[in-house]
Structure 1
Amino acid sequence: TIYVDWGDQQVSGILELTEISVNGCISSPISIQVEVTGPELDLGENTGICSGTSITIDPDGDYTSYLWQDGSTEPGYTTDQEGWVILEVWDEFSCNAKDSVYVTVYEVPFVDLGPDTSVCVDEGLVLDAGTDGDSYMWSTGDVSQQITIYEDGNQEIWVEVGNSDGCVGGDTVFIAECDIYQLFDPPTAITPNGDGVNDVWNLYALQEFPQAEVEIYDQWGTLVWKSEPGYPQPWDGNKMDGRPVPVDSYHFVVFFNDGSDKNYVGYVTVIK
């Protein structure tokens, strides 16, 4: 057996061997093709990840040592940053190979359905998933950017929004059972001057409370007007005897009379 030191050469070549005897006889040369292969390394094609996620690059191969671009020497490399990932490896013969791959970080669609809220059947609630996406999937089965919720009762609505880069964002909103008393938002002033504009104190939300009664008091606590159940006739700025009240702010109480203990108090100003 003859051993040949190939040194640190990284290229293939032809080795020619000639034997010389002790008597000085020279044999015919023998040529041998030497192939220096070294390790093979393939990190694959350039790739991408979604913002907030990471990727682990774990090359296949039987290597004895690793050196990544940041100086780490572990077999695998995990990153959540955009940029080049470069690896150099060595095998048991100290032969090396090098490869690189570029990692692109794609943005995740921004989705904000707003704060938790409530919905009443008559008004509905519009939920908008924004314009960052190319596809939409709601927990209701809808696939549009916007949906309108009419169903009453406690419920959780979520949406997933995907973009062309394959990234998915989402949000969830909790919708509480309708608080019908939230519908009551009375005007703060009337102008009973006979011009046909804002002459009476309309309380449209009381249509939901057929037994409701309204009482209006002056600043001294004297009752100046009281409605019939259901508020069938809006207050026109007059006292119960038909005389107009003076310009002032008046305290009022709404008794819903719906079996609950809820009342509504506030002030309404008469302007002329």
Structure 2
Amino acid sequence: MIKRHLYIIAFGIIQFITISSSGQMAMPDYTCTGQTRQYYVSPSLASGSTYTWWIDGTVQTGFTSNEFIHTWNSAGTFLLEVQERSADGCPGPKLSGLAFVNPLPEILVSPSDSMICDGECVTITVGNPGALTWGQWGYDLFVEPDAGITGNIVDSIYTSPANLCDTLYNNGKEIHRVAYRFVPVTVNDDGVKYCEGKEVKITVWVVPGFRCREVFLEIPEAFSPNGDGINDVWNITGKESWPDIEVTIYNRWGQAVWKSGRGYPVPWDGRGSGRELPVDSYHYVIELHNGIKTIMGNVTVVR
């Protein structure tokens, strides 16, 4: 990323020479917030001159030589002016040019899921939240999978928002992950990257085995419906992935004492038929209604 440039103002036209290159280009200047620029005006043959620099009509105090260094801290279009005054007080012409300053590029990234099964696709929504004064928004994508993880998305450069779909395969027996690093950038008309924003990183875990999603449910082994506001209901984490999930609770004698609606919209509160059930261990049966096996286990009610 280019951090610093040297500019020459001469004959009423601002030109600049990059520190790393001898090529010249005409103003205006294109930059981003946080970048520091060095401007230079060719002095007259007489010695002893002083210089005044303005940005949008405001004198830049502390700069009286033919060089001006400025860090652009806000986005917008700015008028940069300079005027030489000779040692005997005679003013020269006021020279000017424009500086177009972009905000640092940002990026919005949202994955459809942070954990998927082997062979499933994760959709990553990518968006540009801000407007630019100049140039084109884009981003660099770096894909960093664990050993044994393969997918169809690789490191690349993108120049427009898009939804990415990466089908991931876990060739091992353990849960592994893939990290995606998104670095937003501003690109000029020649395709050169000028500004780089803050990196955004997301991680997706891939569980081995087709149709593995029942392991995504986190089912507590106990809860305490005593009205203290802590673990008063039996919350099942991950139920949102199963819109048709249905839970039935049985006592130790095999009698059904409570049953949820489809989707488990109201968690079990330790009651059955409108009354508190005794402290005990209860059996649960969870039907996902999608062809995957029934999930069974025990949950203890404590108070």
- Between Structure 1 and Structure 2, which shows a larger proportion of strand residues? 2
The verdict on a shared fold, with TM-score over 0.5 as the criterion, is no
- TM-score w.r.t. the length of structure 1 is 0.39
